Structures are given as C-alpha cells and as structure tokens.
Chains A and B, each alone.
Chain A
Amino acid sequence: MGRAVEQLNRRLLRARDAIDRGYARPLDVGAIAAVAHLSPAHFSRCFRDVFGETPHRYLQRRRIERSMFLLRETGRSVTGICSEVGFASLGTFSRTFRAIVGESPSGYRRGHGPVVAPHCVQMAHTRPLRNSAVPEKPTSPRSH
C-alpha cells in the first residue's frame, strides 16, 4: 500500500514538473497524464488528491507567477507577456490575473520592482496563493 502511494506520488511529481517546464505551451492533459502513466481523467483526479488542486489550476498559478516575474523584471508589454506565459487571449489573461492577484497586470507592475532573490526561490515562493474564489473551468485537453 505505502509503496504504491510513493510510486504514484513520484510519477505525479514528474508530471507536475512537466507542467512547470512547459507552462508556455497549451496544456495537453493527455501528454502530461502519459508522463504519470495514467489516463487523463484518472490523472486529474489523482493530481488533485496529491497536490490539492487540479492540473489546470496548478498551471494557471504557474503562468500567473511567471507573468508577475516578467512584469517586475522586464519592460515588456502586457500583451507580449500574456502570450509569453501561454495565454491565448489578453482577456483571459487579464481576468485570471485579476482574480488571482487582486489587481490588473499593469497595476501590479506599477506597485512592484525587481526582487533580489535567486530565480528558483522566486518561482517557489512568489507563486500566488490559491484563491478559492477564482472560478475554474473544467480541465479540457487543450484549454486556456
């Protein structure tokens, strides 16, 4: 029993790492589920059990964290950052950003400058918290 849990966790962690590496691309749940050797539906359920949120929500927070980083550290346009972190439409990006961060991307940029901490520390610790008020679309094979 314990051993099976550990092996499943480890495979799900590998899949989560794949989400973190490929955040800029459209989410292909089938491909990510295959990393964990699970069917897409089973994968999403197991992922939620182990990490406390769906793969789609995990990816959303990663993308928003990356966009916050780029807003703080670069002078790139909001539109450019939106597509750079994997959002297909500016409307979805702005809506998701506001729902998770509580302000608009440009408002956030005005209030924040560069953070002096190693990149991995920023990725881990400046990722926005889960906000249960954020509406979540059901996970679909190629969702944005």
Chain B
Amino acid sequence: MAVIAKVNVASLYVLDKEEALDFYVGKLGLEKGNDVQQGSYRWLTVRVAGGGTEISLEEPGPPLHDEATAEQLRALITKGALGGLVLVTDDVRAFYETLKARGVTDFTQEPTDHFYGTDMGVRDPSGNAIRILQQG
C-alpha cells in the first residue's frame, strides 16, 4: 500500500521575503534551500541545515490572491492570527542567549521548563509565532 513518506514542503505566509530570509537564516540559523526567480515569482525556502522539510516563505499577492484578499492576509499575519512553527534545539537556554546576542527582542516567552522539556517563544518579523523546544 502506498503511503506518504515525508513532509517535503510546508508554507508560511510572511510580509516580506527578504526580511523573513534575514530572520530565518541570519537569526535562527536555518539554511536557505531553494531560491529560484521565475518571472515575478521568487520560490524561496529555508530548512534545517542538512535537509528535512523545507519551509516555503510566501508573500500574499497576485497572481494567487487579488489585492483585497492579500490585504486581508497581511492584516491576519501581522495580528499573529495565522500559522507558526515548532522547532527543536538541543540547548534552548543557550539558543535563547544566541538569539539575544543576534539582536532578537521579540520574545513571547523566555525558556520555561515543562514535563515534556523546555521551550521558548519568539515572533518572526511578520508576527508568526515560533516555538523552540528542547525535548526531554
């Protein structure tokens, strides 16, 4: 029986691809995956170094969305009402210090212990919620 083998690409709406790239690569330390310009469309993905699921950074707008729809999406993104990510690190407290040293200030939660591990929260420049978890 055929089954799905892998989550290959997941999409995340952002306000500005270049700003998002600077955050996900420059601050979070992910690596750039695909960066392909096709006409007016830039296919841009980031991923954990070495492979795995690619996160496609998408801006609302034409030709996928009419301007009114794009404006609604941008309003929802900036209200923090759309999706987000949960990422895993092996040392969340050290990573928190790394992010602060890189100038990140938009934390939603400092590292906090739970029964399933320690996690923290931060927002990307657009307003998407990102959880960073150290399991165990």
Question: Which residues of A pack against B, CB within 8 Å?
Answer: 2, 5-7, 9-10, 12-14, 16-17, 20-21, 50-51, 118-120
**Are B78 and A10 in contact, CB atoms less than 8 angstroms apart?**
yes
Q: Determine the residue in chain B with the shortest Cβ distance to A118.
A: B116
**Are B123 and A13 in contact, CB atoms less than 8 angstroms apart?**
yes
Write out the residue numbers on chain B whose beta carbons fall within 8 Å of the beta carbon of A20.
108-109
Please pick, from B75, B114, B131, the residue contacting A5 in the complex, using a CB distance under 8 A: B75
| Distance in angstroms between the alpha carbons of A6 and B79 in the assembled complex | 8
Write out the residue numbers on chain A whose beta carbons fall within 8 Å of the beta carbon of B106.
14, 17
22 intermolecular pairs with C-beta atoms under 8 Å apart = A2-B75, A6-B15, A6-B74, A6-B75, A6-B78, A9-B75, A10-B126, A13-B79, A13-B80, A13-B127, A17-B106, A17-B123, A20-B109, A21-B108, A21-B109, A51-B79, A118-B114, A118-B119, A119-B119, A120-B109, A120-B119, A120-B131
Number of residues from B at the complex interface, CB < 8 A: 23
| Distance in angstroms between the alpha carbons of A20 and B77 in the assembled complex | 19
| Distance in angstroms between the alpha carbons of A21 and B106 in the assembled complex | 11
**Are B108 and A2 in contact, CB atoms less than 8 angstroms apart?**
no
Chain B, range 37-79, C-beta contacts under 8 Å to A: 71, 74-75, 77-79
Question: Which residues of B pack against A, CB within 8 Å?
Answer: 15, 71, 74-75, 77-80, 106-110, 112, 114, 116, 119, 121, 123, 126-127, 131, 133
Q: Determine the residue in chain B with the shortest Cβ distance to A119.
A: B114
Q: Is the interface of A mostly helix, strand, loop or mixed?
A: helix
Write out the residue numbers on chain B whose beta carbons fall within 8 Å of the beta carbon of A13.
78-80, 123, 127
Q: Determine the residue in chain B with the shortest Cβ distance to A8.
A: B78
Minimum CB–CB distance from B109 to chain A (whole Å) comes to 7
